[in-house]
Structure 1
Amino acid sequence: MTENTTTKAVEPLMVVEGLQKHFPIMGGFPIKRKVGAVQAVDGLTFDIKPGESLGLVGESGCGKSTTGRLITRLMEPTGGKITYKGQDITYAGRKKLAPIRSEIQMIFQDPYASLNPRQTVGTIISSPMEINGINPPGGREKKVRELLETVGLNPEHYNRFPHEFSGGQRQRIGVARALALEPKLIIADEPVSALDVSIQAQVVNLLQELQRDRGIAFVFIAHDLSIVRHFSERVAVMYLGKIVEIADRDSLYNRPRHPYTHALLSAVPETDDLDGTKRERIRLSGDVPSPIMPPSGCRFRTRCWKAQDICSSQEPPLVQLSTSKPGHLTACHFPEDPTTEKHAEDIVLDPALQALEGDA
């Protein structure tokens, strides 16, 4: 007798399709009119599964932070579609978004600018609960003190002001505020880039514990590849408003297929090998093109050592290559050799992060 053990696929928590954000450029006198647009985000498609950590990496100005603000609906998209738990929230109004706002929270990059200096820590963390009319058992103050303890701060600091804390402690306050409404998805916009290196590992470890213990999905935006490798299960690489490669962590770091990903990995700070030889280093020529007038075809072609005529006339679709691991998508006409495995030692972790990986 054969037992039917068909496993039901996990439904994505959020699905993003063809997401766009173009900022208009106004010119002319005396009547202002639109003369162009900054194509900050231009056609992103990806999904986020419940409890998953998705890393979003790329150079400064590639559209990572804008993407984070779009999927939290802090910005209005120009085009595309955002679906959360099967519900279209792309252009949803305040009333429709109200029950969803509590489930999608954000941790901001600058812990000094994201906290109101005139409010106490207790007020900062309890405000989301007050706005959403949430009265937890035991009251809001008890909940705030529990959250402070959860993120590694003293509950007695409830009545202190932000200026009395260090940068790492302020970021922990930001994490506590994001947890106040028990979200299902947190967008972490470069949460450790403004912190000392010695503190970064502690905050990353805290976020990882919260994700594991509470089953929260994360979109972890960063430009530090070693931190993203430590935190994220899947990684998406952005260049000039588009995703050029997306794959699980091991597949992307050990077998990058897109030339830009290959170049990013080669640029990670390194130490010389024991025999005195240095690893391959790829130095891209020129600067990132302007998002006002991006190159035709493949946007990376103006800096790519593999570019040919087809790259200027046809934009490569983000697809799975026949030799790629399932779920490893690449947008390139001439992808890298899939057998490249030397990148396993290309990523040099910060010593503190390396110690954390050793404990895992």
Structure 2
Amino acid sequence: MSAEQTLSGPLSPAPAAGTPMLEVNGLTKHFPVMGGFPFKRQVGAVQAVDGVSFNVSAGESLGLVGESGCGKSTTGRLLTRLLEPTGGSVKYLGQDITHASRKELAPIRSEIQMIFQDPYSSLNPRHTVGTIITNPMEINGINPPGGRAARAKELLEIVGLNPEHYNRFPHEFSGGQRQRIGVARALALNPKLIVADEPVSALDVSIQAQVVNLLQGLQREMGIAFVFIAHDLSIVRHFSQRVAVMYLGKIVEIADRDSLYERPRHPYTHALLSAAPDADPDNVTLERIRLTGDVPSPLNPPSGCRFRTRCWKAQEKCATEEPPLIQLGGSGSGHLTACHFPEDADAAARRAGEGVPAPRPTQD
């Protein structure tokens, strides 16, 4: 059975394409920092995620990109309620699940699944592959036609593994095979939404392509929506229909894939794209932008625009006013940017098409 074949047994009806599935508004997660002696008290907070908003439609793939430590993985865990949010809201198919109880979340858990970043630590080494895949079905009281074991073997075949691996343990598999087991576990409950937290970052390049193609095939055949978290811009461009760029806990730009990659408006997005390697060494369209300074601490982020301390376009206004995430003139439908002095869209398009170098940032 190929990866593009659908699962047997009755599936709950998937929402029609374009139906709002996930609505995130002002999502916030601050981790308290305790200090003091002899009595501990809160002395600060790590602003890991601060006011993130976006939507995901049924069958859509949204890429979430940014530097390490920008809050991508924390956002993914907030969406799946593995972490409790500090503020904001998350709605799934119109139902607010931000502060839902365990009982209220129970029927939704099976529809929102997660693929974790590290295939070595996300699988219980004491359980067989069969137990790892059938446990979610047992917990949710699901008895598929033919039994749970048959369903688990079918899932193994769908993700490109041998059904005979059912009784093996995780340590007997390579990294790529372990990640496929993680995908099979996520599919066990027929989810409508999968949050994939850097699912290929720990894998070899050749294995990365296999796993990404597997996920794409499953998305086409099963209509699953994805929030695809990654720092590899080439993989995100290959997999996602829309892309959101995060910096220090905030989304600074969000747009459809082609608009964002060909007409980046935020200086940070511009810098990320200029740093991404191109497979064709002769196809160099953007000069490498080297950002100055270190990434500020989320414990004490800069005032106004958080990127201003590393931005070559920063002015006084950037330090006093936080730029809203809005659609700018000429950006195209749904292209949102949070910048007081955004890049010129037409100029960016001309540079991309003609190979004209981008301006370098000033060095402080």
Q: Same fold judged by TM-score > 0.5?
A: yes
Q: Distance in 1 between matches of 2:33 and 2:74?
A: 17
How far the C-alpha of 1:344 sits from its partner, in A, is 6.6
Q: Distance in 2 between matches of 1:125 and 1:100?
A: 18
1:75 maps to which residue?
83
User: Aligned with 1:205: secondary structure?
Assistant: helix
1:40 maps to which residue?
48
Q: Distance in 2 between matches of 1:182 and 1:9?
A: 17
2:314 maps to which residue?
307
User: Aligned with 2:20: secondary structure?
Assistant: coil
The answer on whether the counterparts of 2:28 and 2:50 sit within 8 Å (CA) in structure 1 is yes
* 1:176/1:278 CA distance change after superposition, 3 Å: closer
Q: Distance in 2 between matches of 1:268 and 1:78?
A: 34
2:221 maps to 1:213:
yes
* 1:274/1:72 CA distance change after superposition, 3 Å: closer
User: Aligned with 1:13: secondary structure?
Assistant: strand
1:281 counterpart letter in structure 2: R
The answer on whether the counterparts of 1:253 and 1:343 sit within 8 Å (CA) in structure 2 is no
How far the C-alpha of 1:140 sits from its partner, in A, is 0.3
The answer on whether the counterparts of 1:129 and 1:181 sit within 8 Å (CA) in structure 2 is yes
1:228 maps to which residue?
236
Q: Number of residue pairs matched?
A: 338
User: Aligned with 2:42: secondary structure?
Assistant: strand
Q: Distance in 2 between matches of 1:60 and 1:69?
A: 16
How far the C-alpha of 1:322 sits from its partner, in A, is 1.5
How far the C-alpha of 1:11 sits from its partner, in A, is 3.2
Q: Distance in 1 between matches of 2:179 and 2:102?
A: 28
Q: Distance in 2 between matches of 1:196 and 1:217?
A: 25
Q: Deviations over 1:210-245 (max 9, x none)?
A: 011100000000000000000000000000000000
User: Aligned with 1:14: secondary structure?
Assistant: strand
Q: Distance in 2 between matches of 1:178 and 1:209?
A: 15
How far the C-alpha of 1:323 sits from its partner, in A, is 1.1
2:70 counterpart letter in structure 1: C
Unaligned runs of 5+ in 1: 1-7, 347-360
Trace 1:123-142 onto structure 2 (pairs within 5 A).
Answer: 123-142=131-150
Q: Distance in 2 between matches of 1:321 and 1:308?
A: 19
2:172 maps to 1:160:
no
2:195 maps to 1:195:
no
326-335 or 10-19: bigger deviation: 10-19
How far the C-alpha of 1:266 sits from its partner, in A, is 0.3
Q: Distance in 2 between matches of 1:193 and 1:94?
A: 31
The answer on whether the counterparts of 2:64 and 2:246 sit within 8 Å (CA) in structure 1 is yes
2:107 maps to 1:99:
yes
1:353 maps to which residue?
none
* 1:51/1:345 CA distance change after superposition, 3 Å: farther
* 1:205/1:112 CA distance change after superposition, 3 Å: same
The answer on whether the counterparts of 1:316 and 1:333 sit within 8 Å (CA) in structure 2 is yes
2:95 maps to 1:87:
yes
Unaligned runs of 5+ in 2: 1-15, 356-364
The answer on whether the counterparts of 1:265 and 1:343 sit within 8 Å (CA) in structure 2 is no
The answer on whether the counterparts of 1:253 and 1:344 sit within 8 Å (CA) in structure 2 is no
The answer on whether the counterparts of 1:245 and 1:329 sit within 8 Å (CA) in structure 2 is yes
- What is the identity percentage for the equivalent residue pairs of Structure 1 and Structure 2? 78
2:323 maps to 1:316:
yes
> What TM-score comes out, normalization by structure 2 length?
0.90
Trace 1:1-360 onto structure 2 (pairs within 5 A).
Answer: 10-270=18-278, 274=282, 279-339=286-346, 340-341=348-349, 342-343=351-352
Q: Distance in 2 between matches of 1:144 and 1:273?
A: 44
> What TM-score comes out, normalization by structure 1 length?
0.91
* 1:290/1:51 CA distance change after superposition, 3 Å: same
Q: Distance in 2 between matches of 1:258 and 1:61?
A: 19
